[in-house]
Amino acid sequence: MKALYILFIALAATISANAQVPSPLTQKHKRILILNASAHIGNGEFIQNSAVGIENGKILFVKNALTNTYMASEWDTVITAIGKHIYPGFIAANLTIGLTEIDAVRATRDFDETGTMNPNVRSLIAYNTDSKVMYTIRTNGILVTQSTPRGGIISGTSSIMALDGWNWEDAVYKADDGVHLNWPRKYQSAGWWAEPAPSSQNEKYNKTRDEIYAFFDQALAYSSEKDPVETNLRLEAMRGIFAGSQRLFIHVDYAPEMNDVIDFSRRFNLKFPVIVGGYDAHLLAAVLLENNFSVMLGRPHELPKFDEDYTYSCYQSAFKLKQTGVPFCIQAEGEMEVMNARNLPFLAGTAWAYGLTEEEAVASISLNVAKILGIDDRIGSLEAGKDATLFISDGNALDMKSNNVSFAMIKGNYIDLDNHQKQLSRKYEHKYDLE
């Protein structure tokens, strides 16, 4: 039996000290026991002094360490985490992680294809596990992402990926989980944030909406044919939407358009419609519930959309929606979304400060996300039978002052928490020390 203590774990020693992108680590230990950490289960439960057993990459149990006894000799590795916090891996939904590296360099952007209707475009095969940015994100506990394309009316098909692996085949959690539809706006904004101009009606709204209906009518007719005479890749990519094996993620913020989206969902009998953004979702909560909608809320760290809104309106959006009973999660899409994805825990922390309980805030970026994406049977919470995709933080992971991830696993494998930013920090840390 090999005893390890979090304070002295140095997984980076397994790779070259000068490496900028950590290599996936080989897991040698089959039975791992983590003792005495404060466990945030992800489903609303909390255990002050926990015992988490892991066997062959799966969570064996999560119990109270004070009321159960364990034989150290039965475990390959025992990790003592007194005073620390253990969480399920956080899930960053609706982001271009793995699809872009430097937003200002076009050659590194692989998330936006030409054309307007591209459901056949798959983020899966474009996912880059050698992205340097990816390794700066997981050091804050974000271990899984929904890698999502952008652009056009139908951007393409997203996939759920782990932030670790030699290639996309290693990293995939769920391939082609859903298609992303960008619903047009009825009103167009003008000016910019410092000098806004009055909004005007979008004269192309009805035309674009009709194009969406026409495409979905065509796709529905195509999907009703088991063996079409000619294969149409765009329409073939829509089969899962009507069969119920894929989600349709509809990117829309405001109530006027959301009413049309609800009618659209009824028209095509969508099984798993998801609103992405949902700034006004709390205003239509009853209808959204009635029609089986879930909501991926836009990031709370944004300015309010309307002049009459309170400055903290976005901070309270999660709490408002939670009160209605509509299933929701928090996502971080927006300006420099990939680089800022590391702040996802702190977005949940803001929602905690503005109405959610601490455990509800944890769920908003873990189990709630997993449920909306349809992978809650594998990840999202610290429960028996699920993958050991989890991490330990020295302090509260939702607090930017105390968040310090010192240990993490994806699919039961240790991951190296080093990255090029940490390497640069170490390089220059003592540059100006006095001799």
Mean pLDDT of the chain: 90
Task: Classify residue 387: in a domain, yes or no.
Answer: no
- Give pLDDT tens digits for 115-128: 899 999 999 999 99
CA 382 to chain centre: 17
Q: For residue range 157-180, what is the model confidence (pLDDT) as tens digits?
A: 999 999 999 999 999 999 999 999
Tell me if 390 is assigned to some domain. Answer: no
Query: Is residue 57 located within the same domain as residue 83?
Result: yes
Same domain for 44 and 114, yes or no, is no
Summarize the confidence of residues 7-14 as an average pLDDT: 40
CA-nearest of 289, 278, 285, 287 to 254 is 278
Same domain as 81, residue 227: no
What pLDDT does 40 receive? Answer: 98
Residues 252, 253, 259, 260, CA torsion sign: negative
Asked whether residue 394 is domain-assigned, the answer is no
Lowest mean pLDDT among 187-191, 214-218, 250-254: 187-191
pLDDT tier for residue 4 given thresholds of 50, 70 and 90? very low
Residue 273 burial by Cβ neighbours in a 10 Å radius (0-12, 13-18, 19+): buried
Contact 84, 38 (CB under 8 A): yes
Question: Is 396 inside a domain boundary?
Answer: no
- DSSP assigned state of 331: -
- DSSP label of 135: H
* Integer Cα distance of 367 and 39 in angstroms: 14
Judged by DSSP in three states, 132 sits in helix
Going by pLDDT thresholds of 50, 70 and 90, the confidence category of residue 397 is very high
Q: What is the mean pLDDT of residues 2-29?
A: 55
% of the chain residues with pLDDT over 70: 94
- For 281-338, the pLDDT digits (tens) are 999 999 999 999 999 999 899 888 888 889 899 999 999 999 999 999 999 887 677 8
CA neighbor of 199 nearest in space, from 334, 335, 333, 307: 307
Does an H or E element contain 355, and which?
Answer: none
- Using the predicted structure, report yes or no on whether residue 55 has a pLDDT greater than 60: yes
* Confidence at 6, pLDDT banded by 50, 70, 90: very low
CATH at residue 345 = 3.20.20.140
Q: CA distances (Å), 10 to each of 177, 358, 415, 416, in order?
A: 35, 30, 11, 9
Q: What is residue 261's three-state secondary structure?
A: helix
> pLDDT tens across 335-391, in order?
677 888 999 999 999 999 999 999 999 999 999 999 999 999 999 999 999 999 999
Query: What dihedral do alpha carbons 338, 341, 342, 348 form, nearest 10°?
Result: 180
Helix and strand element counts for the chain (H, E): 12, 19
pLDDT score for 379: 97
- The pLDDT assigned to 335 comes to 63
Domain annotation covers residue 220: yes
Hey, what amino acid is at 318? A
Please name every residue paired with 231 in a beta bridge, in sequence order, or none if there are none.
none
224 or 23, which is more confident: 224
pTM, full prediction: 0.91
Q: Are residues 8 and 146 in the same domain?
A: no
Q: Which residues pair with 329 in a beta bridge?
A: 296
CA-based end-to-end distance of the chain: 44
* 386: in domain: no
Are 314 and 245 found together in one domain?
Answer: yes
Question: Cβ–Cβ contacts within 10 Å for residue 404, how many?
Answer: 14
Q: Please provide the size of the chain in residues.
A: 435
| Mean pLDDT in residue range 74-97 | 94
Task: For residues 183 and 70, state if they share a domain.
Answer: no
pLDDT at residue 434 in the model: 63
Residues 78 and 115 in one domain: no
CATH of the domain at 32: 2.30.40.10
- Amino acid residing at 253: D
Asked if the model's pLDDT at residue 9 lies above 50, the reply is no
Dist CA 171 CA 160 (whole Å) = 9
Buried b (16+ CB within 10 A) or exposed e, 137-158: bbbbbbbbbbbbbbbbbbbbbb
11 and 128 in one domain?
no
Q: 325 in the Ramachandran plot: left (φ > 0), alpha (ψ -120 to 50) or beta?
A: left
**Using 50, 70 and 90 to split pLDDT, how confident is the model at 72?**
confident
**144 and 254 fall within a common domain:** yes
- Count of the separate structural domains present in the chain: 2
Residues 360 and 234 in one domain: yes
DSSP 151: S
State which H helix or E strand residue 323 sits in. helix 317-324
- Residue 348's contacts (CB-CB under 8 Å, 6 or more residues apart) are 330, 356, 361, 362, 364, 365, 398
Residue in 401, 388, 411 with CA at minimum distance from that of residue 140: 401
Are residues 148 and 180 in contact, defined by beta-carbon separation less than 8 angstroms? yes
For the cut 80, the answer to whether the pLDDT of residue 140 exceeds it is: yes
The 10 Å Cβ neighbour count of residue 95 is: 25
Single out the residue of 64, 35, 143 nearest to residue 415, CA to CA.
143
Domain residue limits at 335: 90-377
Q: Are residues 170 and 198 in the same domain?
A: yes
Rg (CA), the chain: 23
User: Does 330 share its domain with 238?
Assistant: yes
Q: What is the pLDDT of residue 63?
A: 95
Mean local confidence (pLDDT), 181-185: 96
**Does the pLDDT of residue 18 top 90, yes or no?**
no
The predicted structure's pLDDT at residue 112: 85
In a domain, 435, yes or no: no
SS3 labels along 174-240: EEEEEEEEECCCCEEEEEECCEEEEEEECCCHHHHHHHHHHHHHHHHHHHCCCCCCCCCHHHHCCHH
> Is 51 part of a structural domain of the chain?
yes
- The DSSP call for residue 89 is P
The pLDDT, as a whole number, for residue 290 is 95
Residue 348's alpha-carbon distances to 183, 280, 316, 361, 398, in angstroms, are: 26, 19, 11, 5, 7
- Closest by CA to 137, choosing from 429, 428, 422, is 422
